[in-house]
Amino acid sequence: MARTESELNQTYRPMSELSNYKIEEGDPDPRGWSVVGTDGYRIGTVTDLLVDTSAMKVRQLLIDAAEGTSEGQSFVTLDVDNIELRAGSREVVARGHAGQGFDRGAHRYAGTYGADTKGREAERLTRSEEELAIGKREVERGEVRVGKHVTTEQVREPVTRRREEVVIERRPVEAGARADAATIGDAEVRVPLMEEEVIVEKRPVVKEELVIGKRVVEERDVVETEVRREEFDIDNNIEGGDRSSRKPRR
């Protein structure tokens, strides 16, 4: 049988009022996250979690939906079965509800929140932690200089060249042959000799070129640093024993 609203108000308590309850390690804590509708329109901010103390489970989110209104604090609730948590953007999406024109009256929180049973303002203690934000900027890491210079090396190249040599051959003359040309006296015959001379010429010839440009490469680095966070220290001196080991289940 379904429980009445009065019965729900008796068993549903804000987690901030239950010092012996805490969220299981590893489960997301949406307190402080933005609440948006399926259309992306902002509804409000998660203020607290409503715990069903009879079952030790978180049943609803308590949301301050007074933004953009003149009502002051206006708390509404959303069942945890009808939400989607987006840890990356720290958002809670209300499934089945558009943020524009969200019906606050249909989800209004009927209990009291933010004041103790004597009407005094409840004491609050916030917990903060550092979040790592990694950015990048371009810096000059140096330069590459590309130029050229002249070097000298000794080159040996075989070359074949021709030259003329005189060839002298003695032949006997038969008796009586060319007798009319025979004379006695000094005579001389000159034979010019030719040879090839090696001529060395040098001329510049383009052999190679460098094409100089830039490209972008990606390297994966690991950033190591320390971040600080605050932790609550709760000293529960309530008579009847310490039940701080009890944890609500999601």
Note whether residue 76 is domain-resident.
yes
Q: Name the token pair of 126.
A: 């916030």
Mean pLDDT of all residues in 207-231: 92
pTM over 0.75, yes/no: no
**Residue 9 — very low, low, confident or very high, per pLDDT cuts 50/70/90?**
low
Mean pLDDT of all residues in 172-201: 83
Containing structural domain, residue 39 = 1-134+205-250
Total of domains in the chain: 1
Whether the pLDDT of residue 164 is over 90: the answer is yes
The answer to whether the Cα torsion of 47, 51, 6, 123 is positive or negative is negative
Range of weakest confidence among 26-30, 35-39, 138-142, 241-245: 241-245
Amino acid 191: pLDDT: 92
Q: What is the CATH number of the domain that holds 1?
A: 3.90.50.10
pLDDT digits (tens, 9 = 90+) for 220-235: 999 999 999 988 888 8
Note whether residue 197 is domain-resident.
no
Q: Name the token pair of 216.
A: 């972008």
Note whether residue 144 is domain-resident.
no
Amino acid 142: pLDDT: 92
Note whether residue 142 is domain-resident.
no
Whether the pLDDT of residue 177 is over 70: the answer is no
What is the Cβ-side half-sphere exposure of residue 116, based on CA atoms within 13 angstroms? 8
DSSP, residue by residue, 207-231? ----------------------B--
What number of H helices and E strands is found in the chain? 1, 7
Note whether residue 184 is domain-resident.
no
Note whether residue 146 is domain-resident.
no
Note whether residue 21 is domain-resident.
yes
Report d(CA 83, CA 93) in Å as an integer: 5
- Which of 129, 99, 122 minimizes the C-alpha distance to 15? 122
Note whether residue 61 is domain-resident.
yes
pLDDT digits (tens, 9 = 90+) for 14-24: 888 887 777 88
